Amino acid sequence: MSYFLPETDPVLTAARGLALAHPGMVEVHTGPLYLRARAPHPDRRVGLVSGGGSGHEPLHTGLLGRGGLDAVCPGEIFASPHNRQIYEASVAAAGPDGVLLIVKNYTGDVINFQIAAERLRHDGIPVATVLVDDDLSTDAADSATGRRGTAATVVVEKLLGAAADQGASLEELAALGAEIVARSRSIAVAARAQTSPTTGNPAFTLNPGTLDYGVGIHGERGTRTIAHPPIDELVRRMTDDLLDALPAGPAEVLAVVNGLGATTSLELHAIGTLLNEQLLARDLRPVAIVPGTYTAALDMSGFSLTLTRLEEGWAELWTAPTETPLVLPNLTLAADQATPPAAPRQTVTRAAAPRAEGGRAVLDRFALIVTQVRDNLTRLDQLVGDGDFGDNLAGGVRRAVKLADEDGGDGLDALAEAFLNDVGGTSGPLFGLLFQHLASVSPAGDEAPSREALAGAVAAGLAAVHRVGGANPGDCTLVDALAPTAEALADTTREESVEAPFTEAAQAAIRGALATASLRPRRGRASYVGDHAIGVPDPGALAVALLFVAIADVHEPTMATRLPAPGYITLH
């Protein structure tokens, strides 16, 4: 491994280092981890909260302070923060008019910030969200996921931070943020992938003399591989693509030349000069050219260009003073300067509950199954995602077992708490919502819930997952296993549904999960790999199937013997 990071708690250690480097400006909270500005502007009425996976620094944490963000929630490397981090940071940072969440459009970030927003609304805290989706390379009409959020996040956070210091309301900030996002587009290229922290090798390989065009900031491959052109031709091509995608508007633009981690300042400043020339040749006025590493992808060798059309007053927001770890170039170019050169919060705790034997039995059975198939789920996720699903699922289940052991509570309650509060990533909190609804119908003692009660709980869990994540059947997600399960439990016309409802539900979940292998993903990180995901069943959908296998094993042990073995279900 080529990184100089501690083997334990690297993100927490780095956060503490940031606070040490900026005493009086940044404070670090643990359990859960978030960073908070120590001295926000006295005129600010709305707290600004953002965050995302680590490895993109100085994004987010660099703009923590006066003129920027009030709190930042860092996830593990390339993994979203979990909703508990965001919720507690937002509670701590909320102003008298509430809190604004600034979210990059990645499935895990969106889901966890949305769950945090739901919890804030439940507490009566006014909350709004700005979704940053500037990456034009993922602007596909057939994608339900939408464009990714990348380096325009820096522009959004800077302009909103200045507006917040002027006392703008929550509604004004949300509207301004949406306008900035709508007028911003980015595109990125890479000559070498970032080094994987797990393997120590490049996340993907490129032949000499080639570039990946349209790469993502988590090591996602570009939309196409091209021959490496001279840099002036590459900048011209990227500028053309950006301006084709950018909505019409004023001639004044803000241009960010962002390094992806291993691109030198020498290169970035040279690219800034070339970009300035391209903009002037198109009768645009660069108000500011901003070169630097602001949104990294660990040590990827590459860069991105971001253009934002500036509306009236936005240039003044860009140049407004800040007291943040990251000092952005905030001087604007006069018209005669932009000329071409000469040629040459509180922790939520759960009350102890009496032991519910049936729910605990389901937890123990599910834990055993997950232990058996964790490696299978990891291999599947490596084919379509980032390979962390098996470990995340197993870790969440272990946490739930520990909680149930400590307070003797219901197993499904423990699963809900563990996955809602402690499991990050995309699917963990979604499973937490499902467990929460299942726990609501878990009876005391060792009896099974009624078919009607379980049907209602599964339907409610499905609705909650849809509200937060937006997935529908056919999108190749856990919904493709959960929806047929709900239908099977609600169906009383078939003899099997009456005699063995839980086994029938498990069979429906298995069929739905395995059928995802024939689908092209439209949601989640798997949607970025396109046809490469076809033939691979969705790991989240398989986990849903395994959960209902566990329920059938506990409550219908005889009939459940007809179900396929978990290892067989997850074999690929």
Kindly list the distances between the CA atom of residue 443 and the CA atoms of 142, 412, 439, 566, in Å, as whole numbers in the listed order: 44, 11, 9, 26
User: What token pair was written down for 328?
Assistant: 């952005």
Q: Helix (H, G, I), strand (E, B), or coil: what is residue 502?
A: helix
Alpha-carbon distance of 405 to 443, in angstroms, equals: 18
Kindly list the distances between the CA atom of residue 496 and the CA atoms of 238, 455, 501, 508, 510, in Å, as whole numbers in the listed order: 59, 15, 7, 12, 16
Q: Which one is catalytic: 41, 82, 218, 437?
A: 218
- Of 253, 384, 251, the residue nearest 308 (C-alpha): 253
Alpha-carbon distance of 218 to 54, in angstroms, equals: 10
* Cα dihedral 244→246→249→253 (10° resolution): -110
Specify the DSSP element, H or E, that contains 187: strand 184-192
User: What token pair was written down for 507?
Assistant: 């069979």
* In 473-559, alpha helices (H): 479-490, 495-499, 501-515, 539-555
CB atoms inside a 10 Å sphere around CB 340: 12
Q: Which residue has the tokens 């404070």?
A: 27
Catalytic residue status for 29: no
DSSP 254-280: EEEEEE-BS--HHHHHHHHHHHHHHHH
CB atoms inside a 10 Å sphere around CB 356: 24
Kindly list the distances between the CA atom of residue 484 and the CA atoms of 144, 431, 517, in Å, as whole numbers in the listed order: 21, 16, 16
Pairing mode, strands 34-37 and 26-29: antiparallel
Residues carrying an active site annotation: 218
